[in-house]
Amino acid sequence: MKILKSISNLIPFTEYTQTVFLHLILFLVLSRYLSTTATLLGIAWSVIVWISFDISFHRMWSHGALKCTKTMEWIFSFINVFAGMKSAIDFCGPHIWHHKYSDTKKDTYWPTGVPIWKILTQHKSIYKNVNKTEMLKGCRHLFKNKAIKFFHNYYYAVFFLIHLVLAVYDPLLIIPIISMPVLLAYMINIPGGVLLQHTWGERITKDKSVNNRFLSFISFGLLCQHSNHHKHPSSHTFNTDKDSFDLIEFAIEKLMRYNLVWIPSK
């Protein structure tokens, strides 16, 4: 692991993008050998992984819009490994910072003046104006959570073990079980969330976040009204104006029926 870490440090892109690049190559090389059934199951699993990720890492642990049972904390944390974005602390710190400094030079998603190619590749230089100590303070509420702490400390061990098990059993399964969720999460998070949802649509806040009902429609609700989210970050739904479909809200409501997640009292 230390050797891999040393090699990773020499590459000018973040560890997350390195994971995406690796699985993009695997997908391009091996996906032609997948059956139609495996491909469809991979798509379905990828959507499940993103729903889990958005509910927990994003709406619940970044913005406090939800709470869940201890069992669901472990389930969410394990499923989210397949998104390739590391731990809740690794995601929530930069995301909370993004909301604080959105569309400025300090932004971790699209710092002012940074070219698009550096955003798409998550070049390490986009973090040059970040105060890491201040960033970590933003997610200090997560440090004592046992599930979050475990997957923060052992993310790479778990991620590698899943790859190893699949490689031994059937290497092709890496594509629908890991590569496809990683790639879908990247497409929603970076080209979708960072670029499209900060450039194309209606602005209702002081930053550049936008609402776009067409984007929500063609993404089946995976990309919903983003400016609503920036205006009401602690809301469990992005569809605060009730004029679009938020697939994540739909999933949250289903989980709420069984008391697996709930909206915290104010």
Q: Answer for the pair 73, 147: CB distance below 8 angstroms, yes or no.
A: yes
Residue 16 and residue 126: Cα distance in Å, rounded? 13
Write down the domain spans for the chain: 2-260
Q: Answer for the pair 42, 205: CB distance below 8 angstroms, yes or no.
A: no
Instruction: Give the type of residue at 251.
Output: A
Residue 97 and residue 233: Cα distance in Å, rounded? 13
117 contact partners, CB below 8 Å, separation of at least 6: 123
Query: For residue 7, what pLDDT band results from cuts at 50, 70 and 90?
Result: low
Q: Among 1-5, 27-31, 74-78, 137-141, which stretch is predicted with the lowest mean pLDDT?
A: 1-5
- What b-and-e string marks burial along 43-76, b requiring 16 or more CB atoms within 10 Å of the CB? eebbbebbbbbbbbbbbbbbbebbebeeebbebb
Residue 32 and residue 125: Cα distance in Å, rounded? 35
Query: For residue 263, what pLDDT band results from cuts at 50, 70 and 90?
Result: very high
As a whole number, mean pLDDT of residues 81-102 equals: 94
- Residues 213-246: tens digit of each pLDDT: 888 888 888 888 889 899 999 999 998 878 788 8
**pTM of the prediction?**
0.93
Q: Answer for the pair 198, 107: CB distance below 8 angstroms, yes or no.
A: no
3-state helix, strand, coil in the chain (%, to 5): 65, 5, 30
